[in-house]
Amino acid sequence: MSDIIQLLPDHVANQIAAGEVVQRPASVVKELIENAIDAGATNIKLLLKDAGKTLIQVIDDGKGMSATDARMSFERHATSKIQKAEDLFNLNTKGFRGEALASIAAISHVELKTKRSDDELGTGIKIEGSKVISQDFISTGKGTSFAVKNLFYNIPARRNFLKSDTVETRHIIDEFQRVALAHPDISFLLHHNNNEIYHLKEGNLRQRIVAVFGIKMNEKLVPINEKTDLVAIQGFIAKPEFSKRKRGEQFFFVNNRFIKSSYLNHAVVSAFDGLLESGAHPSYFLYLTVPANSIDINIHPTKTEIKFDNEKVLYAILRATVKHSLGQYNVAPVLDFNRDAGLDTPYNFQPNSKGTALPKVFVDPDFNPFKEEFQKEINFPFKREKETQSWESLYTAVDASDAGQNASLFEHLEEEKTQKTFQIQRKYVMSLIKSGVVLINQSLAHQRILYEQFLESITIKEANSQQLLFPVQISFSSAEIEMIYTIKTELENAGFSFDEFTKDSVTIKGIPISVTESKISIILEELLNDMDLEVPDTSFSHFDVMAKSFAKTLAIKTGTRLSEKEQESLVNDLFSCKEPTISPFGKASFKTLTLQQIDHLFNS
C-alpha cells in the first residue's frame, strides 16, 4: 500500500497561506502601507481601482530595496523584522509576517519597482501567481512602488465572495484611516477611480483627526494626557453631547498600532457613566505607549488584538484618566473641596455694600373694599335674578313618547363606539378577529410597512420629495461623503435632493415626504452604519439596504402611545403588505391567538 501523505507544492501552500493573510482587498492595503511606514517613508500614496479588485498600488519615498532584497521579499518566511523567536516579544515595527508578500503574489499579478538612494538604477519585478515573469534593472525614483492587479484572479470562488464595491471600499478606507491616525507625521494620499478621497498633510495629532473626520470634529475634542510607570496615555475623547448611535469613531492605538479591545472600551465607557443617553457610544482617539516586552501581539492573525501583562491595572488607569479629563475641562460635574465659597456670588456682593436704599412699601390703613362706594364701581355682566330664573329650564322633563327613540339612539351610538383595537403597554396592538385576537408588535409592523413603501418608491414609483425652505448642510468625513456620493442616485430615487457635495459636507435641499427635517442627519448616519456593517449580509443591492435602514430609523418605537385611529391604520396597512407576517429583518410582526388557544390557557 503506497504512502498517502505528501508535501504540498509551493504555489498551493502559498494560496492556502493567502487565505489567512489576504481576506479582502483591505488586507493587502494594510500590509503594503505598513511596509512603507517601516521603510521610513514620509509620503505614501494609495491608488485604487474598483475597490481594489482591479488595482491596489502603494507608492512611498522610503529607503527602497536592493535587487537581492526585492527578490527575497517574495519568498515565504522571509522578513527583515525578526531573526530569533525572542524578537516576537520585542517588536517596534509593523509588518513582520514572512508570508505576506508571498501570499499576495500567489493570488494576483504583482509589479514591484524599488530603488535605494545610493543606487543608480532600481529593480523591477513582475510576478503572476507566485511565478516570476521578469526581473530587470530599471530607472525609477527613490522608494518603492508596489502594484497589485486582478486580486484573486486564480481563485474565482474567493473573488465571488467579495462584497459590493461600496462595502469593500469602506473596509479599505477603515484600514487607511487607522494607519493615517497612528502616524500624523507622515503625509498620505488616497485616490479611488481617479477621485481624490484624502490628502492628509503632515501635522500634529489633532490636525490629523480633524483632516480625517472633518472640521466639525475640532469642537468636539477633549484632550487626554497622562503618564505613569506602566503606560503613557494621550489623545482625545469627544464630549458626551456628541456621542453617536454607532461605534465608528472609537480608536485605540498601542505603540502606534491600531487594536480592538472590548475590555479597554468598557473602561472608557464606564468613565462616561451618567453622561450618555441610553444606546449612545462615546467617540475617542486614545494612544497608549507601553514597553514592547509587556504585550503579545501574536494572538490574532491580523494583529488587531493584544494581550497585556497588567490588564486590570491598565483598565483602572485608563478609566481614571478619562474621568479626570472630563472633569478638568468642565465636561462633567465635579466636587471641588478647595472652592472659595465667596466666589459663588459675583463681585463679592453684600447687601447695602454700596449704600443702596431698600424700596419702601406704603399701605393705606383706611382702605375697605366692602364699603358701599367701592361696590358701586363694580359692574357685573349679568343679574343674579335672571341667572336663578333660567337654570330651571335646563332640567325640563323629557317626553315619555321620546324615551324609546332616545334609548335606541344611545344603543346605536354605543354600538358605533365599540373599540376594535387596543394598545398594550405601548408595545403591542391587539385587534379582534372572528377566530380570536391578533397581537401586533407595533414597531416591527411599522418597519414592514415603511420598508415596502420605500422599496416601491425607490425601485418602481417616482418618490415624492418635499423641498426645504432652507437647505440643510450636514458634516461628514471624506470617506462618508464618498459613500453617500456612490449611492446618490438611489437616494434621489427615494426622495432626497442634493445641492452640493464638498470634501467634508453635503447640502440637502429636498427630502422624502415621510421624513422630517430633524431626522435627516440620523437617517443618513444610520444608513452609512448599516452599509458599513453589511446589514443585512444577504442584501444584493443598495436599494434593499437603504429601504431597511430607512424603515428601521423611522418606524414608531416601543413606548409610543397610539390613538385608536392610528392603531386601526397600523393594522390595515400591515395586512395590505405583501409579506405582513415578518419584519424586514426576519422577526415575526404579529401572532394570532385563537379562541381555542385562549380557552386552553384557562382549562389547563
65 shares a domain with 14:
yes
Q: Which of 271, 293, 328 is the last residue of a domain?
A: 328
Residue that terminates a domain, selected from 279, 295, 328: 328
Axis-axis angle for helices 520-532, 165-182 (nearest 10):
90
Does 378 reside within a domain?
A: no
* Residues 158 and 23 reside in one and the same domain: yes
In a domain, residue 391? The reply is no
The range of the structural domain enclosing residue 117 comes to 10-200
Determine the pLDDT at residue 51: 92
Residues 191 and 296 reside in one and the same domain: no
pLDDT digits (tens, 9 = 90+) for 445-474: 999 999 888 888 777 766 678 888 888 888
Structure letter (DSSP) for residue 98: T
Same domain? For 99 and 133 the reply is yes
Give a yes or no: residue 348 inside a domain.
no
Distances (CA, A) of 542 to 161, 456, 490, 520, 533: 17, 14, 7, 18, 13
Q: What is the dihedral of CA 324, 326, 331, 334, to 10 degrees?
A: -30
The last residue of one of the domains, among 282, 300, 328, is 328
Answer whether 546's CB lies under 8 Å from 540's CB: no
Query: Do the domain assignments include residue 109?
Result: yes
Asked if residue 242 is part of any domain, the answer here is yes
Same domain, 214 and 193: no
Residue 360 domain-assigned?
A: no
- Per-position DSSP letters for 107-132, written without gaps between them: TSEEEEEEE-TT-SSEEEEEEETTEE
Domains held by the chain: number:
3
Residues 168 and 210 in one domain: no
Instruction: Return the CATH number at 529.
Output: 3.30.1370.100
Neighbours of 533 (CB within 10 A): 14
Residue 137 shares a structural domain with residue 246: no
Q: Does 232 lie in the same domain as 95? A: no
Q: What is the pLDDT of residue 3?
A: 76
Based on the domain organization, do 176 and 306 belong to the same domain?
A: no
Question: Which are the contacts of 207, defined by CB distance < 8 A and separation ≥ 6?
Answer: 184
For the chain (length 604 residues), average pLDDT per consecutive 10?
72 63 88 91 95 95 91 75 50 56 90 93 93 93 94 87 85 93 95 92 94 88 91 92 79 90 90 82 92 71 71 91 84 51 44 57 69 53 48 50 50 55 90 87 92 80 79 85 83 85 87 83 82 52 78 88 90 90 89 88 79
Q: Do 451 and 521 share a structural domain?
A: yes
| Residue bearing cell 408588535 | 441
Same domain, 562 and 480: yes
Residues in Cβ contact with 210 at an 8 Å cutoff, skipping those fewer than 6 apart: 217, 218
Residue 137 contacts residue 183 (beta carbons within 8 Å)? no
For 528, the enclosing helix (H) or strand (E) is helix 520-532
Give the Cβ contact number of residue 522 at 10 Å. Answer: 15
- Predicted pLDDT of residue 585: 86
294 DSSP assignment: G
Q: How far apart are CA 146 and CA 23, in angstroms?
A: 19
CA distance 492 to 448: 22
Are residues 326 and 271 in contact, defined by beta-carbon separation less than 8 angstroms?
yes
Kindly state whether residues 186 and 316 are assigned to the same domain.
no
Q: What is the pLDDT of residue 604?
A: 65
pLDDT value of position 172: 93
Residue with cell 434621489: 492
- What's the CA gap between 92 and 82, in Å, rounded? 10
Let me know if residue 46 belongs to a domain.
yes
For residue 300, tell me if it sits in a domain. yes
CATH number at residue 68: 3.30.565.10
Nearest to 132 by CA among 312, 11, 279: 11
Instruction: Give me the CATH number covering residue 280.
Output: 3.30.230.10
